[in-house]
Amino acid sequence: MTASAIREILKITQQPDVISFAGGLPAPELFPLAEVRAAANRVLDTYGPAALQYSTTEGHPPLRGWIAAQAGIPAQNVQIVTGSQQGLDLLGKILISEGDTVLVEAPTYLGALQSFQPYGPNYVQLPTDEGGIDVDALEGILKTTRAKLLYAVPNFQNPTGRTLSLERRQRLVELTAQHGVLVIEDDPYGALRFTGEPLPSLYSLGLALAGDVDSNHVIYSSSFSKTLVPGLRDAWVQAARPVVQKLIMAKQGADLHTPTFNQMIVAELVEDVLPRQIEVVKKAYGERARHMLDCIGRHFPGGVEHTTPEGGMFLWLTLPEGIDTTPMLARAVARKVAYVPGAPFYALGGGENTMRLSYCTATPQQIETGMQALGETIREALD
Ligand code: PMP
């Protein structure tokens, strides 16, 4: 295991006078505090000691049932997990044997690499562009490599903010089915689309192709962390029954079950508070993203490429070749602004000239000042 590069960087940037675009945290001022407090009281009144008792590994039935109904699948195809991070770890545990080939986007979510790493995968990086995974390249790789698993974040990816196009979704699902490759679709941000039209999940396309919920080769993972609150650690996996059965066993070994009280609180909030909260979060993140993009236009030198996210929390910069954003971070922090260098998001290296920016926790003034300072830092590195 290697230490998380992001956590190490976050330590430096927690100084109060540094404007940090480095974090991956949702905006705390938007959390529905009063609603969570009221739900907690209702749960204790309704369930009494059962709210604080051990409960089943599969998950609190009303919450599991609600998720299943939303997805239009039976509850037995849903497993509640303690954050989708746990879902990734458990999926790694049940699916990856040492030396198995795992296909990942270049770049990909660092936390997934950390989850899978202990199980000894052999990574192959999939090239990506503005439309997400290059499916022609995927086809070539599938023809020459015996892959076990493909891991992807199709909506507003962490770290790039990119979205996989509809046509590519269809081809990805068909190609992986043809080659017998399982897909993990990690989708914590899908509900947070602030512009453009929603696209079908890989899971739903896999279901249409298989014709049966227990033959779907796509495993779907999502979370209440970004739509409601992350600290309750409530998330879920949707998968074919054989996968869910193995997940139940793996989860029993990990933590028996996701905290009963937390699941009951979330179940209280999903009908009314969650849809309202999603609107609040989308509006705020959409405004902040537009402001940050606008600042790139006004404060950055030419030659810097950026993604244009349609939702989620991140955007991605590609600087001219030859600039290494890792040593540049110290110079940015000296100008009181921080970002995450892109290189750690590549399983097999690359991306030295890239960086991830989060727009979701900064105020308009901080975005303005921070982006100006970052523009100056980049200009200095170009000289
Ligand atoms: N997957 C992705 C792509 C993420 O960005 C995150 C959070 N940063 C997670 C999974 C983990 O989320 P959680 O465990 O809070 O559900």
Q: Judge if the beta carbon of residue 156 lies within 6 A of ligand 1.
A: no
Give the CATH number for residue 214. Answer: 3.40.640.10
Say if residue 317 is in the same domain as residue 205: no
Q: Which domain holds residue 363?
A: 5-30+275-382
Say if residue 345 is in the same domain as residue 213: no
Q: Judge if the beta carbon of residue 107 lies within 6 A of ligand 1.
A: no
Largest CA distance in the chain: 66
Say if residue 90 is in the same domain as residue 108: yes
Element (H, E) at 204: helix 202-210
Q: How far apart are CA 255 and CA 81, in angstroms?
A: 10
pLDDT at 7: 62
Residue 213: alpha-carbon gap to chain centroid: 24
Say if residue 282 is in the same domain as residue 169: no
Q: Is 40 part of a structural domain of the chain?
A: no
Say if residue 266 is in the same domain as residue 288: no
- Chosen domain end from 241, 271, 301: 271
pLDDT at 383: 85
pLDDT tens track for 304-318: 999 999 999 999 999
Q: How far apart are CA 16 and CA 282, in angstroms?
A: 26
Q: Judge if the beta carbon of residue 83 lies within 6 A of ligand 1.
A: yes
The total number of structural domains that make up the chain: 2
Q: What are phi and psi for residue 314, nearest 5 degrees?
A: -130, 150
Say if residue 284 is in the same domain as residue 217: no
**How far is the centre of ligand 1, averaged over its atoms, from the C-alpha of 301 (Å)?**
32
pLDDT at 13: 66
Say if residue 291 is in the same domain as residue 252: no
pLDDT tens track for 192-225: 999 999 999 999 999 999 999 999 999 999 999 9
Q: Is 37 part of a structural domain of the chain?
A: no
Say if residue 129 is in the same domain as residue 218: yes
Residue 125, Cβ neighbours under 10 Å: how many?
18
pLDDT tens track for 363-379: 999 999 999 999 999 99
pLDDT at 8: 64
The residue ranges of the chain whose pLDDT is under 50 are 1-2
Q: Is 39 part of a structural domain of the chain?
A: no
Q: How far apart are CA 10 and CA 199, in angstroms?
A: 33
Say if residue 57 is in the same domain as residue 185: yes
Say if residue 96 is in the same domain as residue 243: yes
Q: What number of residues does the chain have?
A: 383
ipTM score of complex? 0.99
**How far is the centre of ligand 1, averaged over its atoms, from the C-alpha of 188 (Å)?**
6
